Structure 1
Amino acid sequence: MSTNIHSAQPSLLGYRFQPFYALIVLWNESEDDLDEVLIEDDDDVTLKGNDFTKLYQLKHSLGSSSSLTVKNDEFWKTIRIWSQFANSPTHQFYFVTNDTVQPSSPLIKLVKADMDRESIVNLMTVEAERVIGEREKAVAAETEPLPYSKRVAGCESFLNLSMEERLKLIEKITIRPNNFNILQIHNEVIKNLKRIVVGKLRYLIANRLLEWWDIRTIDPKIRIRKVDMLFQLQSLIGQFQDNNLPDDYSKQNPISIDAELGGFMEKQIDLVNGRFHRKKRAAIARWRARNQREKWIREDILNAIELEEYDEVLVETWSDKHGPMKDDLIDQPELLCQQKGLELLEWVHSDAHLYINPIRSEWKQHFLMHGSYQQMAEELKVGWHPKYREMLSDD
């Protein structure tokens, strides 16, 4: 997740919770691969299918829970939103909360399916009339501030419906109490992965799926189909096969290019007159490769020995080209040395992958090779100019 949720304000936590809950909804409650989820559309989360629309109002909290009653302000604020859809034959409504509903509470009928709800309509009608009545008394008495400011709009919307429409609305509502919070999202994803992924891979794949989802939902108006989520999930699972590796950095960039420049890597490119854009390309590749290698080792996906063996192949292949080039350019003009060195640098970026096997047979990303070469250029294990060692020996 891109935001430090442990230090975020409660209002921000609720906002950040919406897209992650949308992921769980899309995963568990869609009925077709083409169903799609939206955030902050008709409600906090909306799930749309061919013949249904499900609205989810989320009441998120990290604090201790309380008992939900018919007097709850947030519940009535939600009734105001949903009342406009009372006559819709395709809408369903879900009030998702960390609070509890006591078994003795009348609202338990909105938690359990297939229970008569006429008594709930009557109870809510009485409560709405009480709120409106007390507001009117306060207005007549010129009392300030007026009571029930958070609840009154929902009460008015409910009373504006006929008794038949009120029942239609209430029959579409489900309360989901004791809901998980944003700190438990990772566990919810792991629960779903238990059906299809084994062992420690659940934790690693859950991390990457949430990172992907977080990026996809930066735009709150985006619509994501279940098939899109499933495709990404299958891709992630495939990356953890024995002949492949997860790709975490091919689409990432360093915050600052300048911070990645300098040192022997840049000087080596200067020796062959490679100029700024080749330096930038090298810096990005090295940053990606360095971070990817560190993450593989940190997560025990790949061991250091395998990476060392891969680097040995890179050095040997480079030496097969650099050695003969160096021999051919003895006593040749500096301009020609620069030209041939630049060609070798370009070969690393454009053609080396045609001659060197990837670190795993199904690994398709070239940045690991490009960036590893640039890191070795920083360490003077490889170079582009035929006399790079002599020319940089005094630095």
Structure 2
Amino acid sequence: MDNHNASPQALGYLYQVQCALLFLLNSEDEDIKVCIEKFDDISFHKDQNVIEQLQLKYHSKDGNITNSSVDFWRTLKVWIDAINADVTLLDSTRFYIITTNSIATDSVIEKIKKVNKNGEDKVDEIYNELRQIANDGLKNCDQKSQNHKFYSAFINFQENRAKSLIKSIVIIPDFYQPSEINACILRRIKPFTLSKTEHHVFETLTGWWYGKMILCLQNPQPTFISFNDLRLKISTILSDLSENTLPIDVTEKEITALASESNVQNILKQMQLINAKKSKINNAVQSYYRAYAQRSKWLKDALLYSDELDEYDERLNREWEFQFNEITDDLEDDSPEEQKVEAGKELYKKLMDKDIPIRSNLNDNTISRGSLNGLSNELKIGWHPDYKKRISGIEE
């Protein structure tokens, strides 16, 4: 089917991806799998059979599908080629045209929609009308025109197969616009989420879905995503949002954005006071960027309780104070500088090795490391026993 793989408009591709997610979310069959092989071709599979083939036609402007519409005849040719390659598709497959456009009144397409919706037996009449349209089209269009090869394909298609195809076509006009698709997806996941987390769940789920769809299109072999894959992903996202944990989902782009706006001079000074190597200084700065970008994202996504970050920083401060007092207890003001530097190194190592989670089941100490370095940047804590005096001239 490679000859049907035309370069799409970006919006059309995104629309297809959105629709595939919505349709799979709406499925009530746990054994269903979705596959996107081409830019306007979605298929649903069960037990190794194709049960639905969907052709999505997105148009940013209003319009009608008429008897000579390229969308309709191109779609017929796609299906004719598929059936000629595998005639068993006619045994169990429903063929969908889903379009944002309307259907022209009194068109043969309107007849197909009504007949199959109401179960009317007018297949012979529709078949003859389609052949007439195709024959007239061949007489009136140039051989190089798009519709010429589409009309020819239908004329040369076996009559019994053509009639079976007509019986299996489902046409859904006036379908949702992209913004409406997103609203439908959000409504679908809303019952499983809290109001403050529903947008985070939506963003995380759709981000994962877009990544999966890109892999589908890059893979030369058909790639399937099952309803159970989707359900498992939603379950994982929700479990990350329990009261005992938080998602670690900050992106490199968000980290870079924070880094460009940050002043980390005091982190550098703190590390230099304990003679830290360049690599350790770099680790300290990077941990700060990563932790604070994640903290900012939690706040943006409304995933934290009121004052939760302040309470967390207070816990970190208390732990620092305990360790600071333990390690500097034997030091005097006139103790040798070497001893003070070693004490600072020991304090820093102890706190960096210690996991102090913001929530009990969040097993990622990058947050505690980066948050501690953030507190050191504010001079609320430090590593060298005389850090305040050395950096800002404040006597303890």
Settle same-fold status: TM greater than 0.5: yes
TM-score by length of 1: 0.81
- Which secondary structure does the structure 2 equivalent of 1:363 belong to? coil
1:260-283 deviation line (CA, Å, top 9, x unaligned): 674212332333343344344333
Change (3 A) 1:26 1:335: farther
Q: Which runs of 5+ in 2 are unaligned?
A: 1-7
For residue 20 of structure 1, the aligned residue among 15, 18, 21 is 18
Task: Find out whether 1:158 has 2:154 as its counterpart.
Answer: yes
In structure 2, C-alpha distance between the alignment counterparts of 1:234 and 1:251, rounded to whole Å: 25
Match of 1:59 in 2: 57
TM-aligned CA deviation for residue 163 of structure 1 = 0.6
Change (3 A) 1:42 1:293: closer
- Which secondary structure does the structure 2 equivalent of 1:274 belong to? coil
For residue 267 of structure 1, the aligned residue among 250, 266, 269 is 269
Is the contact between residue 97 and residue 178 of structure 1 (CA under 8 Å) also seen in structure 2? yes
In structure 1, C-alpha distance between the alignment counterparts of 2:307 and 2:112, rounded to whole Å: 59
In structure 1, C-alpha distance between the alignment counterparts of 2:280 and 2:181, rounded to whole Å: 42
Is the contact between residue 96 and residue 172 of structure 2 (CA under 8 Å) also seen in structure 1? yes
In structure 2, C-alpha distance between the alignment counterparts of 1:394 and 1:261, rounded to whole Å: 20
For residue 127 of structure 1, the aligned residue among 130, 133, 137 is 133
Structure 2 letter corresponding to 1:341: G
Is the contact between residue 328 and residue 343 of structure 2 (CA under 8 Å) also seen in structure 1? no
Within 5 Å, give how 1:12-91 maps onto structure 2.
12-29=10-27, 31-33=29-31, 35-41=32-38, 43-53=40-50, 54-64=52-62, 66-86=63-83, 87=87, 88=89, 89-91=91-93
Match of 2:3 in 1: none
In structure 2, C-alpha distance between the alignment counterparts of 1:336 and 1:90, rounded to whole Å: 80
Match of 2:349 in 1: 346
1:153-182 deviation line (CA, Å, top 9, x unaligned): 221222221111212322332222111122
TM-score by length of 2: 0.81
Change (3 A) 1:390 1:124: same
Change (3 A) 1:73 1:349: same
- Which secondary structure does the structure 1 equivalent of 2:146 belong to? coil
Matched residue count: 370
Structure 1 letter corresponding to 2:161: E
Match of 2:163 in 1: 167
Task: Find out whether 1:368 has 2:337 as its counterpart.
Answer: no
TM-aligned CA deviation for residue 337 of structure 1 = 3.9
Structure 1 letter corresponding to 2:128: N
In structure 1, C-alpha distance between the alignment counterparts of 2:136 and 2:282, rounded to whole Å: 69
Structure 1 letter corresponding to 2:69: N
Match of 2:207 in 1: 211
Change (3 A) 1:218 1:366: farther
Is the contact between residue 56 and residue 98 of structure 2 (CA under 8 Å) also seen in structure 1? yes
Farther-moved stretch of structure 1 (13-22 vs 360-369): 360-369
In structure 2, C-alpha distance between the alignment counterparts of 1:235 and 1:251, rounded to whole Å: 22
TM-aligned CA deviation for residue 389 of structure 1 = 2.1
Is the contact between residue 241 and residue 247 of structure 2 (CA under 8 Å) also seen in structure 1? yes
Change (3 A) 1:100 1:258: closer
Structure 1 letter corresponding to 2:17: P
- Which secondary structure does the structure 1 equivalent of 2:25 belong to? helix
Task: Find out whether 1:11 has 2:14 as its counterpart.
Answer: no
Match of 2:290 in 1: 288
Match of 1:7 in 2: none
Is the contact between residue 264 and residue 378 of structure 1 (CA under 8 Å) also seen in structure 2? yes
Task: Find out whether 1:241 has 2:247 as its counterpart.
Answer: no
Q: Which runs of 5+ in 1 are unaligned?
A: 1-9, 140-145
In structure 2, C-alpha distance between the alignment counterparts of 1:256 and 1:246, rounded to whole Å: 20
In structure 2, C-alpha distance between the alignment counterparts of 1:304 and 1:133, rounded to whole Å: 73
In structure 2, C-alpha distance between the alignment counterparts of 1:90 and 1:39, rounded to whole Å: 19
- Which secondary structure does the structure 2 equivalent of 1:85 belong to? helix
- Which secondary structure does the structure 2 equivalent of 1:255 belong to? helix
1:226-252 deviation line (CA, Å, top 9, x unaligned): 322211211222333344434432887
Match of 2:229 in 1: 228
In structure 1, C-alpha distance between the alignment counterparts of 2:211 and 2:372, rounded to whole Å: 30
Structure 1 letter corresponding to 2:255: P
Change (3 A) 1:45 1:324: same
Structure 2 letter corresponding to 1:342: K
Is the contact between residue 79 and residue 158 of structure 1 (CA under 8 Å) also seen in structure 2? yes
Change (3 A) 1:179 1:364: farther
TM-aligned CA deviation for residue 42 of structure 1 = 8.3
In structure 1, C-alpha distance between the alignment counterparts of 2:111 and 2:279, rounded to whole Å: 66
TM-aligned CA deviation for residue 335 of structure 1 = 4.6
- Identity, in percent, stands at 26
TM-aligned CA deviation for residue 253 of structure 1 = 6.2
Is the contact between residue 344 and residue 383 of structure 2 (CA under 8 Å) also seen in structure 1? yes
Change (3 A) 1:159 1:376: same
RMSD (Å), alpha carbons: 3.1
